[in-house]
């Protein structure tokens, strides 16, 4: 089985790659940093390859899709794990807020560009998406940026389009689900100053990346579609179809795949 994992060089992504490699699957790690990606691939306990690319840039999304198409004529599972929780507003070369680009637009773009090769998609989500308020006129451009809320906003954008992908792919047998892996101790959302210190203390009581990887790995073997999982339990999604359609149309235009 060919499994692609974005952000597979560290944290939950690396733990997912390691477990799948141990099970005998071929793993393709997508990483922005070539050196860290190569180090991760060398340390994995099985067949692994590296695709380097920047998922914060639209051109990078297209480049990654092209490289994955060359590396994998068939993608049995695509795990969207790469994610950002920014502490300050950063705009990409495309004029987009960086977390919006990585957390929402990149998964959308890879799904569309690679859909003829896909069998199964697993989106690593966050339970905080229910607190998000996705505004297509503001969120993509950072007009409503907030160091805590933006993560939830961009994760909500991603979840809103999941049912639409499930509908689009149903007849061809491609499945897609999202999973909240739990509250995990990774580098996501790292901060400096007093807030960062408090976060470090709190993280000591959070689950390990290996524990967070378990429900993600479990979902790679399921065949449900259009569902949201809180770890291993399917729960109702809080989505707005009209908002999802607006975000879908917008992402198509922003990514150049409309």
> Which residue numbers are catalytic?
151
Structure tokens at 128: 């905080």
Which residue in this structure is represented by tokens 């068939």? 74
Ramachandran bin of 120, using left for φ above 0, alpha for ψ from -120 to 50, beta for the remaining angles: beta
Q: Beta strands of the chain (E only): which ranges?
A: 2-6, 26-31, 48-52, 77-80, 120-124, 175-180, 227-230, 233-235
Structure tokens at 185: 């101790």
Structure tokens at 167: 């509908």
End-to-end CA distance of the chain: 30
What residues have CB less than 8 Å from 2, skipping those under 6 apart?
Answer: 25, 26, 28, 72, 74, 75, 76, 77
Alpha carbon distance 169, 205 (integer Å): 40
Question: Which residue blocks in 86-188 are alpha helix, DSSP H?
Answer: 98-100, 106-114, 149-169
DSSP H or E run through 215: helix 209-220
């Amino acid at each position: 089985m060919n499994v692609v994992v974005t952000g597979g060089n560290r944290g939950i992504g690396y733990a997912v790659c390691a477990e799948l490699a141990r099970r005998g699957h071929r793993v393709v790690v997508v990483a922005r940093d070539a050196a860290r990606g190569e180090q991760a691939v060398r340390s994995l306990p099985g067949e692994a390859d590296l695709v380097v690319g920047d998922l914060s840039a639209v051109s990078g999304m297209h480049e990654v899709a092209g490289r994955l198409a060359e590396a994998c004529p068939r993608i049995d599972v695509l795990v969207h794990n790469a994610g950002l929780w920014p502490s300050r507003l950063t705009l990409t070369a495309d004029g987009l807020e960086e977390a919006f680009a990585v957390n929402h637009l990149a998964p959308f773009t890879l799904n569309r560009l690679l859909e003829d090769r896909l069998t199964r998609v697993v989106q690593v989500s966050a339970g905080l998406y229910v607190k998000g308020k996705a505004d297509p006129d503001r969120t993509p451009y950072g007009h409503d940026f907030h160091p805590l809320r933006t993560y939830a906003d961009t994760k909500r954008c991603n979840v809103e389009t999941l049912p639409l992908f499930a509908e689009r792919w149903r007849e061809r047998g491609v499945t897609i689900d999202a999973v909240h892996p739990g509250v995990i101790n990774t580098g996501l959302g790292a901060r400096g100053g007093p807030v960062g210190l408090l976060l470090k203390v709190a993280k000591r009581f959070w689950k390990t990346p290996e524990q967070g990887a378990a429900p993600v790995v479990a979902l790679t073997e399921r065949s449900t579609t259009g569902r949201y999982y809180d770890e291993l339990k399917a729960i109702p999604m809080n989505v707005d179809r009209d908002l999802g359609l607006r975000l879908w149309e917008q992402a198509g235009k922003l990514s150049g795949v409309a």
